Amino acid sequence: MDKFQEMQSFVAVVNAGSFVKAADALDTSKAAVSRHVAELEQRIGTRLLNRTTRKLSLTDDGQAFYHRCVEILEAVDDAETDLSARSGEASGRVRVSAPVTFGIQYLAPLWGKFLALHPKVTLDVSLSDRTVDLVEEGYDLAIRIGNTPHPTLIGRKLAASRVVLCASPVYLEKHGEPRHPHELAGHDVISYSYWISRDEWRFMGPQGPVEVTVRSRLYANSGDTCRAAALEHQGIILQPDFLVWEDLRAGRLKELMPEYRSEELSIHVLYASRKQLPLKLRHLIDFLASSFQKPAWLITGTRPDGKTSARARR
């Protein structure tokens, strides 16, 4: 049996917390991972994991052996990175986590282009709006949308996105158009579940900050769902311009109270701090940064009156 493969499986099980998740991370079967760990324990003559029906835990020997295995695997990765850097050709698998909507609309068209440039690289892309733990879950990169990158991760800003308050003309004709944030308390709104402030919507206006408690008719952990409900005239939404700019330009949605600004979000690519960044990651990070130099939602943005914005004309 390949000792390296045994150590890989053992470390993956510890990192993932289960044989099933480790098998997913290694793109193999649970049976194969279980066999590798069992043969490793048999070969070295000691139990590394305590197994129960509810959880796995490391034995004392397993704890010490785990740290040594991590060091060895990292040393192998470093050696491969050195060879790749000398040859100038990136290779290997890259696991990427990205938000669902942004991943489908803006990242999906890029992956094929990157693979064409780097034929020895394999991408494993997972879309989820939850915040994954890069180290614990075995991801190499994460695309995150927010204001503050994780303090323990290295981040590179790709783009910015303005959060826009908007609704359909049909909804506004029926319920009236709010002129001040406080009027939102009397309107139906559609809320994104992952907003930290939930039902407390905050704006910066001509006279300073304004906060209002809204009444949500629908909560959704998907920006696409919020947008769809707004297009069906069910209420007012507060969503990033990368999601709604085409609807604003086409007149399907109308921006409300542009003088009262909500937050601006930063879009980052994040990765764990390492002594030496693998060539495959360096190339992918550079590729993403280059691809978002002129985001579509900024180039083709419009003002609420339907005219092209000055920012878009530049």
Residue 110 included in any domain:
yes
Q: In the predicted model, what is the mean pLDDT of residues 22-26?
A: 87
Q: Residues 38-69: pLDDT tens digits?
A: 999 999 999 999 887 777 889 989 988 988 89
Find the mean pLDDT for residues 13-19: 89
Please say which residue of 45, 68, 87 terminates a domain.
Answer: 87
Give the residue from 40, 62, 87 where a domain finishes.
87
The reply to whether 166 and 227 lie within a common domain is yes
> Is the pLDDT confidence value at 167 over 90?
yes
In a domain, 233, yes or no: yes
Regarding whether 282 and 167 lie in a shared domain, the answer is no
Task: Answer whether residue 309 is part of any domain.
Answer: no
CATH of the domain at 130: 3.40.190.10
- 134 and 276 together in one domain: yes
Distance, CA of 198 to CA of 214 (rounded, Å) = 9
Query: What pLDDT is stored for residue 193 in this prediction?
Result: 86
Pick the last residue of a domain from 53, 87, 121: 87
Q: 269-289: per-residue pLDDT in tens? A: 998 865 568 889 999 999 999
How much of the chain exceeds pLDDT 70, in percent?
A: 88
Does residue 176 have a pLDDT over 50? yes
Question: Do 211 and 250 lie in a common domain?
Answer: yes
Closest CA to 159 of 4, 53, 24, 299: 299
| Whether residue 169 sits in one domain with residue 156 | no
CA proximity to 49, closest of 20, 13, 25, 84: 13
Tokens at 95, concatenated: 């696991």
Whether residue 150 is found in the same domain as residue 281: yes
- Average pLDDT over all residues of the chain: 86
Does residue 39 fall inside a structural domain? yes
Would 217 be classed as within a structural domain?
A: yes
Could you tell me if 257 and 271 lie in one domain? no
7-11 long-range contacts (CB < 8 A, ≥24 apart) are 7/40, 7/69, 7/72, 7/73, 8/36, 8/73, 9/33, 9/36, 9/37, 9/40, 10/36, 10/37, 10/40, 10/48, 10/65, 10/66, 10/69, 11/66, 11/69, 11/70, 11/73
* Same domain as 220, residue 145: no
How many domains does one find in the chain?
Answer: 3
Domain co-membership, 105 together with 180: no
Mean pLDDT of 216-220: 93
Range of the domain at 31: 3-87
Average pLDDT on 123-135 reads: 88
> Is 167 found in the same domain as 249?
yes
Q: Are residues 252 and 166 in the same domain?
A: yes
* Of 89 and 200, the one with more pLDDT: 200
Distance in angstroms (rounded) separating the CA atoms of residues 127 and 102? 9
Q: Residue 10: phi, psi to the nearest 5?
A: -60, -50
Determine how β-strand 153-167 pairs with β-strand 236-240: antiparallel
Does one domain contain both 154 and 187?
A: no
